[in-house]
Structure 1
Amino acid sequence: MTVGTRPRTQRAHPRTQATGAASAALRPVLESPRRPARVLAAFPSGIYLEVRAELEPHVIAVVTGEAVRLPNAVVLGDRLPMVEVGDEASVGDGAVELGTLSLRAHRWWDPAPPLGPVDPVRLARSLPALAGLCDRSPRRPGLEGNGAAALLAEGCAEASLLRSITAAEQLVGLGPGLTPSGDDVLAGLLVALRHLGAAAGAGRAVWLADWLAAAVTFDARSRTTPISATLLHCAARGEASGEVLAVLRALAGRQSLEPALYRLLQLGHTSGADLAWGLRIGLSAVLDLGGPDLGGGGR
């Protein structure tokens, strides 16, 4: 007698439905047709997903409220699912499907809010204050003393495309970690040029930001980590974390500088200091390129 058996079927675990607050930078990816993704990195407060798409941001951070609110993040008000690097996921059709979690955005925030007009005198006074706080901080940039960073500062101050782009291309992907120091410096610079330049009416600074953004994002995916490449694309559009945006507001006189800079400097091993260095280079360039009304020169 032959005994027949039924094939075993895998029982799918029920998905947990959840909502979160998402960066508006993610709309093109979240609202496009569903695409496969994979887990790039997983930490207690954040999971990074690489979406198989040409769209940017092509890396999405699913984070808890305790994590840094990156410009490519969806903030979940609950615990993250248990996943491992390499696990499959999907993004699109309005949701992030990750492990047993189905996450949808219920509200959006702007990762690049405009500063509004800035008093040129107030902005000029911010540079020595920023420089002094950075110089006294024990949190040092990862590429301190690097020649390319010095060349970048000089090129930006003179609006020299050749020198600025040459230095920027040397910095892309330079340094260890998920976000190499060179990329963090460039991200801080791009955001500062775009926001402070627009706020102060320094059109040459915004023009420089456009050229540098095109140069550093052109082949970023092949020259640095996926996470850092996405953050460079975000910075090219003026999108930044809450800590960076707070320092920009402080430089514009909207809030106190010291506590905002302190929070930024605490990020990562050197990421906060690297971002602050980029902001410092960008602020100096805005003042140099904005003409006498911005107090250019002499710093």
Structure 2
Amino acid sequence: MEARALLAGPGAARALRAGGTGRLVVALGAGGYLRLGADGWVLLTGPRTALGPLSLLVAGLGSEPARADVRDARVGPQALVVGSRRIDLSGLRVAGVDAWPSPAPGGGEALAAAAAAAPRPPASLLVGLRALERADLPRAVRVLAGRGEGLTPAGDDVLAGYAGWAAAAGDPVDLSALAAGRSSPIGLAYLRCAERGELPAAAAAVIAAALDGDREAVARRARVLRRWGSSSGSAMLWGLAAAAGAPIR
């Protein structure tokens, strides 16, 4: 059975539209992170995986582990070819970015409670979080970008959470220009998406509940967000809380 692309996050869709050639950089199961051109990134993953801005949900990937040394990747008008695997793009849908509700009272407090229930940030990130709380963005980027554990370092995920809340609140920030050369390439790609309001579905759900002032929904959705990646969800939650004026103590 030929693999078929079903749904793309907005960042993945931009990379596919730009086209070009590339390679699989990080293998994750049958898929992984594919780099196209200079800075286009696509996360190849199965059809039931939680959607993120770089995700390309594909039916028929199979179970054979991908190999990160596959260097022959290219995008054509109707297909993405990665090594010997052809992924049909003809029926691809692109996820949109929902309109955010107007902020209601209590959103910051709800986020503070959800963040307090998450694992405490390591000391190496707390200085950067305090800088974000003061809106000292240059210092925050210097301290956080590229720092911490995880495929996307936790510091990059914190910055993405901060940028995502700022975009939703109608006060977008440009952190990626400051983070270029400091953040990991994949972390920088997620940060650029977050500046556009493009986030993992779980993070967007937390923001929507916080803007509605729904404390119970924030807590429930934050638990889902914390399962995004090995550490990315918790780190994004710390960034959301900092941006909403809900400091982590």
Letter in 2 for 1:96: L
> Is the counterpart of residue 184 in structure 1 residue 184 in structure 2?
no
Q: CA separation in 2, counterparts of 1:91 and 1:70?
A: 20
After TM superposition, give the deviation of residue 189 of structure 1 in Å.
0.2
What's the TM-score, normalizing by structure 2? 0.85
Structure 2: give runs of 5+ residues left out of the alignment.
none
Residue 37 of structure 1: SS of its match in structure 2?
A: strand
Alignment match, 2:27? 42
CA distance in 1, matches of 2:93, 2:230: 31
1:86 maps onto 2:69 in alignment:
yes
Structure 1 runs, 4 residues or longer, greater than 6 Å off: none
Larger proportion of helix: 1
User: Highest Rg: 1 or 2?
Assistant: 1
Q: Which residue of 2 aligns with 1:126?
A: 107
Q: 2:223 corresponds to which residue?
A: 262
Question: How many angstroms apart in 2 are the aligned matches of 1:75 and 1:87?
Answer: 19
Task: Write the distance in 1 (CA, Å) between the matches of 2:21 and 2:143.
Answer: 33
2 CA distance for matches of 1:148 and 1:19?
Answer: 38
Find the counterpart in structure 2 of residue 174 from structure 1. 147
1:210 counterpart SS class: coil
Q: CA deviation at 1:134?
A: 2.0
Counterpart in the other structure of 1:278: 239
Which one-letter code corresponds to 1:35 in the other structure? G
Q: Which letter does structure 1 place at the counterpart of 2:234? A: A
Q: Name the CA distance, whole Å, in 1 between partners of 2:176 and 2:21.
A: 28
Q: State the Cα RMSD in Å.
A: 2.5
Partner of 2:209: 250
Partners of 2:28 and 2:66 within 8 A in 1: no
Contact 2:146 2:156 in 1 (8 A): yes
Give me the whole-angstrom Cα distance separating, in 2, the residues matched to 1:211 and 1:113: 21
Task: Classify the secondary structure of the residue corresponding to 1:85.
Answer: coil
Give the letter aligned to residue 128 of structure 1: E
The one of 67, 71, 82 equivalent to 1:98 is 82
Kept in 2, the 8 Å contact 1:143–1:182? The answer is no
Listed as ranges, the gaps of 5+ residues in structure 1 are 1-14, 157-162, 199-205, 286-299
Q: Aligned in 2, Cα 1:78/1:254: closer, same or farther, shift over 3 Å?
A: farther
What TM-score do you get using the length of structure 1 for normalisation? 0.72
1:210 to 173, 178, 185: 173
Cα distance in 1 between the residues matched to 2:197 and 2:123:
23
Deviation at 1:77?
Answer: 2.7
Whichever residue aligns with residue 269 of structure 1, its letter is S
